[in-house]
Amino acid sequence: MTEASTTTLTRRKNLPTNRPDEPDGQEITLVPLEEADQKQKGEREQVKAAQEGQEPNEPPSPQNLPPPKTWRFWAVFPALCMTTFLAALDMSILSTALPTIALDLHAGDLYMWITNSYILSSTVVLPLFGQMANIFGRRWIMISSVVIFAVGSAMAGGANNVSAIIAGRTVQGIGGGGINTLVDVVICDLVPLRQRGKYVALMASVWAVGTTIGPVLGGAFAQYVSWRWVFLINLPLCAVSLLLLVLFLRVTHPRSTGTIWQQLRRVDVVGNTILTMAVVAILLGLTWAGTSYPWSSWRVLVPLLLGLAGLVLFYGHQTSRFCPEPSLPLPLFSSATALCALWISFLQNMLLYWVGYFLPIYFQAIRSLTATESGIHVLPITGAIAPFGVITGILIAVTGKYRVFHFVGYTCLTAGTGLLSLLNNQSPARDWAGFQVVFGVGSGMIFSSTLPPIQATLPESDVATATATWAFVRSLGCIWGIAIPTTIFNTRVQALLYRVSSASLREQLGNGGAYALASDGLMRTLRDAPALRAEVLGVYEESLRWVWWMAVPFGVVGLLLCIPIKQLVLSEELHMEFGLQEEDTGGSSEVSPALPPG
């Protein structure tokens, strides 16, 4: 048999070709017949067995088991941790410094967009970065994300007006979205599915540390140095992160023989444009709802309806023949397990921001603490999320089971939000700290256990886009997790203002002013007027109680959505085209996934 007869032509979709009868963007590669057949058959059998909840017929192939970890992994992992810390710090450091920034730059009603611009840009680019990581590889997309983040930080730190800082925050968000996507994607490249939970949980712990110290640093910078250092502190951190990534993040990826232009043509520009416009419309509607305009106003309803229609149009485009390389892995939407896992991820992140956004109001308005002190008092949530997230990831790696953590996690989440409604100005530390721990335990469990069932329904080639979809859904949860409780809180405050005897104070608290006044230390200024203070305190207590009550049904929905999720087999093999590139003297490279099964 000749050499030519032992090979077959296999097309990798959307790579360049010179054949006139083939669409642009395909490449013909020669692959041994046996290797091509075995790879395709093995991947199909693996996904089918996982979806049916069956163990593989054969033990993991020795060549697909991750080899012993190398020094390069332990060099890459700190780089990923530093990059994660960078993005996490920026998500939280602004919270305590925002009033100072808004005052200094005369932001007025635009102050909300200093935060929203980051959320918006970081959300809409998530599917795009997942797709680009497949086309151009992980290394340069990750490095580019950090560079973009640094540029945005410099722009925001040097801003002299509100438009400039919003522009800087938008650029920051683009880089932050890339960081959030690529960190999880690289981890998935380096470890098998069954082991991923514990490493994703470790990254979540780093994220938790960053979000914990962020408010403390932000308050300290704004009070003792300058609010500009809230953004400029990112520059030395970016420099360290870039150094580590350039030196150690060397991963292989399938090379295309096409030009840069041909590779860029593979990017789903139309789909990402539709998605961007849809998310912008939704965020506009949610930002205006209950603050600038009532929910029944056409100025709120029209953007929301247009945004939802845009999401439907985006899905339609992804499934059409006009989108040869979708930004989202379409098999996700045909699997009940994957869909429900995405929904419980959405709800978990929504409830996390729900609590994280309003628990400081309890400490500032009802307990009369400063913004920095309230940041310290919400540490029990972080102190529970981090260890229980890691423990959950380790247990999934050992047992291969994740479904039980969904039920236990959502039980804790739902109970935790309900228990928060019992808090008042006399609640002891064991209550406000203990209730946070209950919520944090559930949040940590859910975070670490939702990605495995999503990825188990897909071939490994879809890992990047699946991970980006997971991150995108979680970011949408963040947007709704701020908008819904804000509307509930403002609506209840407005309905209860008749209890406040001071007309001037009623005017200040109305139309969304209660949230801002809480961080300004309103209750401390009313210590000399105990009767008026009691009236305002009652408004805050009852309004917050409604915020917690209305969170409970979402937790119950999440618990019910855990039922259709199947227990799938989590592979211990690693069939990735991406992996660490080990240096050798012969000028070639060896792909090393770098982690052992345990």
508-522 pLDDT, tens digit each: 888 777 877 776 667
Within a domain: 417? yes
Within this chain, do residues 129 and 231 fall inside the same structural domain, yes or no? yes
Within this chain, do residues 384 and 305 fall inside the same structural domain, yes or no? no
Within this chain, do residues 316 and 348 fall inside the same structural domain, yes or no? no
Within a domain: 57? no
Arithmetic mean of pLDDT, 5-16: 37
Within a domain: 296? yes
pLDDT recorded at residue 73: 73
Q: Identify the CATH number of the domain in which residue 561 sits.
A: 1.20.1250.20
Within a domain: 378? yes
* Residue 174: pLDDT over 50: yes
Within a domain: 18? no
Within a domain: 167? yes
pLDDT recorded at residue 57: 44
**Where a domain ends, among 306, 324, 342?**
324
* Residue 7: pLDDT over 70: no
* CA 501 remoteness from chain centre: 44
* Residue 54: pLDDT over 60: no
147, two tokens: 């560079």
3-state secondary structure of 411: helix
Window from 4-18, 235-249, 430-444, 484-498 with minimum mean pLDDT: 4-18
* Residue 581: pLDDT over 60: no
pLDDT in tens, 329-338: 777 778 899 9
DSSP letter string, 177-219? HHHHHHHHHHHHHHS-HHHHHHHHHHHHHHHHHHHHHHHHHHH
* Residue 404: pLDDT over 90: yes
pLDDT > 70 fraction of the chain, expressed in percent and rounded: 80
Q: What are the φ/ψ torsions at residue 81 (nearest 5 degrees)?
A: -65, -45
Count of structural domains within the chain: 3
pLDDT recorded at residue 12: 37
* Residue 270: pLDDT over 50: yes
Work out the pLDDT band at 70, boundaries 50, 70, 90. Answer: low
Window from 138-147, 189-198, 201-210 with minimum mean pLDDT: 189-198
* Residue 62: pLDDT over 60: no
Within this chain, do residues 188 and 102 fall inside the same structural domain, yes or no? yes
Q: Which of 49-53, 304-308, 390-394, 576-580 has the highest mean pLDDT?
A: 304-308
| CA gap 439, 456 in Å, rounded | 27
Within a domain: 17? no
Q: What are the φ/ψ torsions at residue 434 (nearest 5 degrees)?
A: -65, -40
Work out the pLDDT band at 313, boundaries 50, 70, 90. Answer: very high
Within this chain, do residues 421 and 481 fall inside the same structural domain, yes or no? yes
Work out the pLDDT band at 578, boundaries 50, 70, 90. Answer: low
3-state secondary structure of 316: helix
| CA gap 117, 166 in Å, rounded | 6
Residue that the structure tokens 């628990």 belong to:
359
Within this chain, do residues 395 and 495 fall inside the same structural domain, yes or no? yes
Within a domain: 170? yes
* Residue 13: pLDDT over 70: no
**Where a domain ends, among 221, 252, 283?**
252
pLDDT recorded at residue 582: 53
Window from 433-442, 525-534, 570-579 with minimum mean pLDDT: 570-579
pLDDT recorded at residue 55: 45
* Residue 439: pLDDT over 60: yes
Window from 189-198, 328-337, 525-534, 553-562 with minimum mean pLDDT: 189-198
pLDDT recorded at residue 572: 65
pLDDT recorded at residue 407: 96
pLDDT recorded at residue 276: 85
Work out the pLDDT band at 262, boundaries 50, 70, 90. Answer: confident
Arithmetic mean of pLDDT, 313-317: 88
pLDDT recorded at residue 33: 40
Within this chain, do residues 506 and 533 fall inside the same structural domain, yes or no? yes
| CA gap 553, 200 in Å, rounded | 28
* Residue 413: pLDDT over 90: yes
Within this chain, do residues 336 and 234 fall inside the same structural domain, yes or no? no
Within this chain, do residues 204 and 280 fall inside the same structural domain, yes or no? no
Beta bridge partners of 28: 11
* Residue 260: pLDDT over 90: no
Q: Which domain holds residue 300?
A: 269-324
pLDDT in tens, 350-383: 999 899 888 888 888 888 887 778 778 888 887 8
Arithmetic mean of pLDDT, 524-539: 85
Mean pLDDT across the chain: 79
Within this chain, do residues 481 and 502 fall inside the same structural domain, yes or no? yes
Task: For residue 125, give the nearest of 338, 241, 315, 273 by alpha carbon.
Answer: 273
447, two tokens: 């975070």
| CA gap 565, 562 in Å, rounded | 6
Within this chain, do residues 397 and 521 fall inside the same structural domain, yes or no? yes
pLDDT recorded at residue 19: 38
pLDDT in tens, 149-171: 999 999 999 999 989 999 999 99
Cα 227 to Cα 72, 115, 242, 535, distances in angstroms: 38, 15, 24, 34
pLDDT in tens, 450-488: 988 888 877 777 777 788 888 888 888 888 888 888 888
Q: What are the φ/ψ torsions at residue 330 (nearest 5 degrees)?
A: -60, -30
Give the helix/strand (H/E) hosting 420: helix 403-420
Within this chain, do residues 201 and 89 fall inside the same structural domain, yes or no? yes
* Cβ contacts of 125 within 8 Å, gap of 6 or more: 173, 174, 177, 178, 272
pLDDT recorded at residue 24: 42
Arithmetic mean of pLDDT, 424-450: 92
Arithmetic mean of pLDDT, 48-54: 48
* CA 442 remoteness from chain centre: 17
| CA gap 138, 472 in Å, rounded | 18
Arithmetic mean of pLDDT, 81-86: 85
Dmax (CA) of the chain? 98
